[in-house]
């Protein structure tokens, strides 16, 4: 499949980067879920597995969008999984990844809005809102871990 001639190449670039980052998130959350489970933190492992599945939903949406635009999906730049020695360290790594996704979707949304691409703007804006919610959830989870137990 080739680039569709009517597609904005910058939008296609955003989609390619989104696919790579979202697949990185799937890989990272799934790996962390297994690690946290091995630590005996069953509830936390379940939350991380749920995050992995949510990110997989994003992967599927990005792939569908790329196909609709006539582009073959290609996640060529997966980042290495980031681990740590405790749950807080893992979540701090996840927060970095989520913020990178938020920044990417913010840029893509602005680009589409500036260029009158309503469908593209809506697509990226919906993902942006979901990633902002993921980031907020991570911040809250980290705060809970950092709160001294009384």
Domain boundaries, the chain: 9-146
What's residue 3's pLDDT? 41
- pTM for this prediction: 0.92
Q: What distance in Å separates the CA atoms of residue 124 and residue 74, rounded to the nearest whole number?
A: 18
The pLDDT of residue 150: 73
Residue 123: how many other CB atoms lie within 10 Å: 24
The two tokens of residue 66 are 């790329």
**How many angstroms separate the CA atoms of 147 and 106, rounded?**
31
Say what the pLDDT of residue 4 is: 43
CATH topology of domain 9-146: Ferritin (1.20.1260)
φ and ψ of 137, to 5 deg: -65, -40
Q: Are 97 and 48 in contact (CB under 8 A)?
A: no
User: What is residue 77's predicted lDDT score, i.e. its pLDDT?
Assistant: 85
Q: Taking a C-beta distance cutoff of 8 angstroms, is the pair 97, 23 a contact?
A: no
Per-residue pLDDT at 127: 98
The residue ranges of the chain whose pLDDT is under 50 are 1-5
Cα gap 22→8, rounded to integer Å: 21
Q: What is the CA 114 to chain-centroid distance, rounded?
A: 24
Residues 6 or more apart whose Cβ sits within 8 Å of residue 107: 14
């Amino acid at each position: 499949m080739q680039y569709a001639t009517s597609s904005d190449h910058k939008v296609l670039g955003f989609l390619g980067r989104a696919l790579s980052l979202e697949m990185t998130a799937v890989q990272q959350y799934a790996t962390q879920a297994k690690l946290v489970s091995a630590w005996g933190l069953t509830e936390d492992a379940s939350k991380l597995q749920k995050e992995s599945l949510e990110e997989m939903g994003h992967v599927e949406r990005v792939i569908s969008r790329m196909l609709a635009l006539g582009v073959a999906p290609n996640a060529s730049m997966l980042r290495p999984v980031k681990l740590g020695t405790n749950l807080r360290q893992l979540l701090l790594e996840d927060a970095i990844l989520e913020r990178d996704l938020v920044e990417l979707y913010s840029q893509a949304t602005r680009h589409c809005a500036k260029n009158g691409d309503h469908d593209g703007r809506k697509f990226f804006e919906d993902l942006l809102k979901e990633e902002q919610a993921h980031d907020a959830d991570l911040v809250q989870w980290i705060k809970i871990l950092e709160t001294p137990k009384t």
